[in-house]
Amino acid sequence: MKNIEIKASCPNPDNIHEKLIALNADFIGTDFQIDTYFNVSDGRLKLREGKIENALIAYDRNDQPGAKQSNFKLYKSEDPDLLKSILSGSLGIKVIVEKKRKIFYIDNVKFHIDEVSGLGNFIEIEVTDMEDIRNKDEMHEQCSHYMKVLGVSDEELIPKSYSDLLLD
């Protein structure tokens, strides 16, 4: 699967929340998530544990400014505690990211308003193509559109993942 995504600092998360509600975005809820990143030789591998979202996620994404493509695979485990134990013992833990995440959707676009422990507030926009039917240019246009609508500036964009920011 693939998506086009941005991550940006978010000085006013309440403002973004209000704008998404005004756009009639579907508010899925607020999730308290723990992302455990494991040591891997290529890409990133994390186990997400939350009340709304739970999955093992393997992904590749370049650290670069602006919208970027992410290629990913999801695995939903019936026993995340056992999976975490196996991966921790086999690969070792690289870093743990804890966050409070508000999750919204508009069609194929997912929005996260994140409060990340030790880092602050962020907005993420993920244009997803689960069926491999959208072209990359269309997905970039959707991402740019919502950046403008939500007032996300290029200066606020963050090229790295939360895990890398914590490790820095």
**pTM, entire model:** 0.93
59 within 8 A of 71, measured Cβ to Cβ: yes
Residue 75, judged by CB atoms within 10 A of its CB (0-12, 13-18, 19+), counts as exposed
The first and second tokens of residue 162, run together, are 């939360």
Q: 124: domain range?
A: 2-167
pLDDT given at position 89: 98
Predicted confidence at residue 1, as pLDDT, reads 83
**Positions in the chain whose pLDDT score sits under 50:** none
Q: Which of 81, 45, 31, 75 is nearest to 161 (CA)?
A: 45
* pLDDT value of residue 100: 98
Total domain count, the chain: 1
pLDDT at 74 (0 to 100): 94
At 132 the pLDDT is 67
Cα–Cα distances in Å, from 123 out to 9, 66, 135, 140?
6, 13, 24, 17
User: Can you give the pLDDT at residue 63?
Assistant: 85
